[in-house]
Amino acid sequence: MADGSGRKKGPVRFLSGVQPSGRLHLGNYFGALRQHIALQDEGEAFYFIANYHAMTTVQERDALEGQTLDVALDYLALGLDPAKAVFFRQSDVPEVAELAWVLSAVTAKGLLDRATSYKDKVQRGIAASVGLYYYPMLMAADILIYRSHIVPVGEDQIQHIEMTRDMAQSFNNTYGVVFPLPKPRLDAGAKVPGIDGQKMSKSYNNAIEIFQEGKPLRKRVMSIVTDSTPLEEPKHPEGCNVFSLYKLFSTEAEQEELAEKYRAGGFGYGDAKIMLLEKINETFGPYREERRRLEGDPGYVESVLAEGGARARAEAQATIKSVREAAGLGKMPVPAGSPVSARQG
């Protein structure tokens, strides 16, 4: 793909990340993971577990490590193929932190001031750390360091990608073109509601987890908030949380069938919830076994991440080399203890 940057030719490159800030849920699946997995056959795919980003909320080492492994298991069980996609831990490529700094020098502070996710998160009680404020900077570096073209995400991330384009443009204008300008890609499930009707999120306590099952899953589905229309009366499918979730799993004909039942009356929200529960079990049931199998093989999962990290890092280092050259930062330093001749090479 010709894009005016240093990486002129080659297939389209997809990149995305998911934070290990809790168990992945239906919003993550329909907004992000489903398209990530589908796109691994459409071009070069780079997907990572955003553990640096998660440090803004997860500050306990065992939790961060464990949740990182959980996200890896979820992806692999759902069909991410490490032979097709480069799958890695964000922190295995420390060069992104360097690029974030370089970008920060050419980015107006007003741009970050306008980030709505920072304001939302602070309003919800997350500590207003410098890291939380700087978060979009690091995200831009994630995208640009792999010179990505397309970023498949949910709706809440669109603003961050627009900011990334602004930052890439500032860098290119200042130092010469190094970065292509990335575009977001949305799936049909770009904004999945939680059990309370707000955006489903790991941190709103309103999520239905992808890998929940049995009684806890049933309890969760049964607790989806609905209005108090009595069973016998007609109901409106539009705006009903159960119906919105059911739509994600069903064909148009199935949706129409359920909508008819709503409108006819004599059909309760409890009945609709059971239909949704069946869909969830049908869709994710087959992946549960695979996840359990992978859970018993942590060595394999670690080797996938290590290999992905090495491939991603090689790409990132090539970009950093161009960035350093363009900005007058000198060559990448060689590791301490290396022979001096290597420094001159």
Active site residue ranges? 121, 199, 202
Query: Within positions 7 to 46, which residues make up the interface with ligand TRP, using CB under 6 A?
Result: 15-19
142 binds, among ligand TRP, ligand ADP, none (CB under 5 to 8 A by kind): ligand TRP
Compute the least distance from the CB of residue 91 to ligand ADP, in Å.
16
Q: Which residues contact 220 (CB under 8 A, 6 or more apart)?
A: 195, 208, 209, 212
DSSP 31: I
Site for ligand TRP (CB under 6 A): which residue of 151, 200, 248, 312? 151
Nearer residue to ligand ADP within complex by CB, 18 or 145: 18
Compute the least distance from the CB of residue 258 to ligand TRP, in Å.
30
Q: Which stretch binds ligand ADP (CB under 6 A): 21-29, 100-108, 325-333, 337-345?
A: 21-29
Q: Which stretch binds ligand TRP (CB under 6 A): 69-77, 138-146, 283-291, 337-345?
A: 138-146
Sign of CA pseudo-dihedral 293, 294, 295, 298: positive
Q: Which residue has 């050419």 as its token pair?
A: 106
DSSP 190: S
Q: Which stretch binds ligand ADP (CB under 6 A): 138-146, 164-172, 176-184, 201-209?
A: 201-209
Does residue 265 contact residue 234 with C-beta atoms inside 8 Å?
Answer: yes
**C-beta atoms surrounding 66 within 10 Å:** 12
**What does the block give as tokens for 108?**
């107006």
Residue 160, phi then psi, degrees to nearest 5: -65, -35
Does residue 319 contact residue 147 with C-beta atoms inside 8 Å?
Answer: yes
**What does the block give as tokens for 342?**
């290597």
Indicate the residue whose CB is closest to ligand ADP: 31
Compute the least distance from the CB of residue 321 to ligand TRP, in Å.
21
**What does the block give as tokens for 206?**
């309103």
> At 243, is the secondary structure helix, strand, or coil?
helix
Q: Which residue has 């987890």 as its token pair?
A: 209
DSSP 178: -
53 binds, among ligand ADP, ligand TRP, none (CB under 5 to 8 A by kind): ligand TRP
Site for ligand ADP (CB under 6 A): which residue of 51, 56, 90, 157? 157
Site for ligand ADP (CB under 6 A): which residue of 15, 58, 190, 316? 190
- Binding residues (CB under 6 A) for ligand ADP: these are 18-19, 21, 27-28, 31-32, 153-154, 156-157, 189-192, 199-203
